[in-house]
Structure 1
């Protein structure tokens, strides 16, 4: 049974989709990009990467396959195992194989898996309908240089004014000075009028304020129904990203693992049993994906290479 389409459906909704016995596909948000050399614009998208060390079955892919194909959970797990066996056979015989709409796998010189994701599909739901486009460069004409060139070449002619126009200019100047003097006198009268109105307004406001103060001093206040006290509560910080040490069928095994992590200094936690009856034990919980991813990488290097990331929406 082909499981490529079900992997693609889950990558739109989740940041980590594990294929049991093979590895996990991880998605990471990338903001919009601009390539200045080619004048190309690219919308935001999800970058797909592959982690071969996350092989434990978290039930996500198997449950989705069982619901889509209307089969039992056990049959879905067997179908995934058969498909993984087919992938491993192809990589051993041909040295490469591809998963439709996800990417291509190949073996390098050290016989390690190398994953190259496809770039034609954007798994970010918020970017649905957006595609990359190329915008030609904007050509701007330099008008300033053209104007400066014209000014340098254009001659400026100075024509002396004839003396007969002096009389008209003289009378125009006298008329202008007269208007200026009338304006100054009028402005002084208007300013004195405004000052008088402002002084009368201040006197009235002062009398009103005195009466208000007198009424306040004579008044007596009674509060029959005081307001109830307000209690402020601070919402606890959400930590939806968990680094999982393991999920155990027996609760006693989960408790032993939990106590061992506490002794090692981890802020270990236990989650309630999931719908498969497994008891998850956590190294710790985190508020951001990047912080949880870094903690998982450190734990895989120092303590447990099979530690994996659980995201609770």
Structure 2
């Protein structure tokens, strides 16, 4: 099934990929984990699940098929209808249908669709190339006993040294005395520097205060109040007018949509190097799909729905 390959491609980019008339694949983030029993480390991942209730066409799958196979949007929709019809037929005959690198479909005794994902498949692009690995447990040595200061043996000079070299005692006394004199002089110098810095800082503060008191600000004619009503793009469901490799083309599309009465927005360049231009954003998925259908009928048959959080 060639279309299953397209679904696999889209799952790396989007969190929801709907097959019109059949259901939707959803990806969920799973953080990195450690199995303490086997010492196995697992990287972060995006796992896939299936929801039979989401069957309304959002345009994402059909637009992707049309762009890859270089055909019209209607032709792509017809290919998807044929794909789902064959899929349902095989399931009703009791067969198990496998989507490569995604999972398997089958019917249970109640004739309900069951999806079994491939557990080792990771759709997270940030974890590309990372695999699980086993690391041996780190064996730590017990802490060695360390003597405290009170337990250390004192240093005692041998009697021979005390008797034969009495001048060492006087030399040590002289060094201590010189150190005390040096520290006292250094402390006196620091106090003088601090007093000088404090006096200069007070002078500077006084000059600044005088200048502030002397300065006056008079605005004879206040500036008029300017009210701007900016359209805020909020929500995770966005109707996309197009994606452009050149930023200049994206800017031209924004100007064209603004002239037609829309409030477009140009998104930051994506990790695929494309600038996407939006007609608008919506909090509710139903509102977004209704707007998408309206734009397809009246403005742009190639528009599609993007599900993504804009930060």
Q: Is structure 2 residue 173 aligned with structure 1 residue 177?
A: yes
Partner of 1:136: 136
Partner of 1:276: 296
Is contact 2:237–2:285 with CA below 8 Å preserved after alignment?
no
Whichever of the two has the greater Rg, that structure is 1
User: Which SS does the other structure have where 1:26 is aligned?
Assistant: strand
Q: Distance in 2 between matches of 1:170 and 1:230?
A: 91
Q: Distance in 1 between matches of 2:159 and 2:167?
A: 14
Q: Is structure 2 residue 200 aligned with structure 1 residue 205?
A: yes
User: Which SS does the other structure have where 2:115 is aligned?
Assistant: strand
Partner of 2:81: 81
Partner of 2:235: 239
1:1-313 map, 5 Å: 2-142=2-142, 144-145=143-144, 163-168=159-164, 170-185=166-181, 187-188=183-184, 191-192=187-188, 201=196, 205=200, 212=207, 216=211, 236=232, 238-241=234-237, 269=287, 271=291, 273-277=293-297, 311-313=306-308
Is contact 1:40–1:132 with CA below 8 Å preserved after alignment?
yes
1:187 and 1:53, CA in 2 relative to 1: closer, same or farther beyond 3 A?
A: closer
1:106 and 1:278, CA in 2 relative to 1: closer, same or farther beyond 3 A?
A: farther
Q: Distance in 2 between matches of 1:267 and 1:65?
A: 22
- How far 1:66 sits from its partner (Å)? 2.9
- How far 1:11 sits from its partner (Å)? 1.6
Q: Unpaired segments of 5 or more residues in structure 1?
A: 152-156, 243-265, 280-309
Is contact 1:27–1:48 with CA below 8 Å preserved after alignment?
yes
User: Which SS does the other structure have where 1:27 is aligned?
Assistant: strand
- How far 1:44 sits from its partner (Å)? 2.4
Q: Distance in 1 between matches of 2:138 and 2:130?
A: 23
Q: Unpaired segments of 5 or more residues in structure 2?
A: 148-152, 239-283, 300-304
- How far 1:7 sits from its partner (Å)? 1.4
Partner of 2:268: none
Q: Distance in 2 between matches of 1:26 and 1:111?
A: 22
1:226 and 1:127, CA in 2 relative to 1: closer, same or farther beyond 3 A?
A: farther
Q: How large is the RMSD of aligned CA atoms in angstroms?
A: 4.6
Q: Distance in 1 between matches of 2:187 and 2:92?
A: 99
- After TM superposition, the score normalised by the length of structure 1 is 0.60
- After TM superposition, the score normalised by the length of structure 2 is 0.60
- How far 1:175 sits from its partner (Å)? 3.4
Q: Distance in 2 between matches of 1:34 and 1:20?
A: 38
- How far 1:12 sits from its partner (Å)? 2.0
- Report the number of matched residues: 250
1:45 and 1:221, CA in 2 relative to 1: closer, same or farther beyond 3 A?
A: same
Is contact 2:47–2:121 with CA below 8 Å preserved after alignment?
no
1:216 and 1:130, CA in 2 relative to 1: closer, same or farther beyond 3 A?
A: same
